[in-house]
Chains A and B, each alone.
Chain A
């Protein structure tokens, strides 16, 4: 069975410092992996996706993630945090084996950015 573990429920950084949000996954298949962001009272927005092409994936708003199969990790990073990055972030693995795009969500990491 596929699963996703986000290692930190809350992360707090200062504006201008790097961001690291950690995610480990378990998958029986070659996984598709995603990071989504959710701002308050809004839906989820796709940040980036990994689908077995390049292991370093670049997304929107300066975020990127690296797929490491040996470590079963897909950590999200950004070199310099901005106040507008404060939101909740979800690591997601896709199980396409059932003929549809079933998503398995992590519990989420809430990112706080301080001035």
Chain B
């Protein structure tokens, strides 16, 4: 019962490099989400996908792009990494409206 799987777990980038964070869920959930977590700020929504084939901006989308590859997979791309994007990134999924979200273990990303 893997739930939500994120890869990689850790990554260090240089400013200007690009990278894609991967997320996959095996719970047949319709909705998937990407968050970033910064100290003292809780989690902030970057992008979400309410269902396969759709994506929408969340609270802090600038500097990111996403792809809902299929029902299972939702990737987050940094085209040109900046030090302000140093954070812990969490992927989550949920079934229907108002159902709890299930989270992966996160990707710790440092940008130098």
Residues of A in contact with B (beta carbons under 8 Å apart): 9, 32, 34, 36, 41-46, 49, 51, 90, 94, 96, 99-103, 105-108
How many residues of B are in contact with the other chain, CB < 8 A? 24
Q: Which of B19-40 contact A (CB under 8 A)?
A: 31, 40
A-B contact count (CB 8 A): 55
- Whether B42 contacts A108 by the Cβ 8 Å rule is yes
- Whether B99 contacts A101 by the Cβ 8 Å rule is yes
Q: Which residues of A contact B96 (CB under 8 A)?
A: 101
- Whether B42 contacts A90 by the Cβ 8 Å rule is yes
Pick from B41, B94, B97, B103: contact of A44, CB below 8 A: B103
Interface of B is mostly: loop
B62 interfacial contact with A, CB 8 Å: no
Pick from B43, B98, B102, B103: contact of A32, CB below 8 A: B98
- Whether B42 contacts A101 by the Cβ 8 Å rule is no
- Whether B98 contacts A43 by the Cβ 8 Å rule is no
* Shortest Cβ distance from B90 into A: residue: A43
Pick from B45, B104, B105: contact of A102, CB below 8 A: B45
Known: A90-B43, A107-B42, A108-B42. A46 touches B100 (CB 8 A): yes
- Of A42, A101, A107, most buried by chain B (CB within 10 Å of CB) is A101
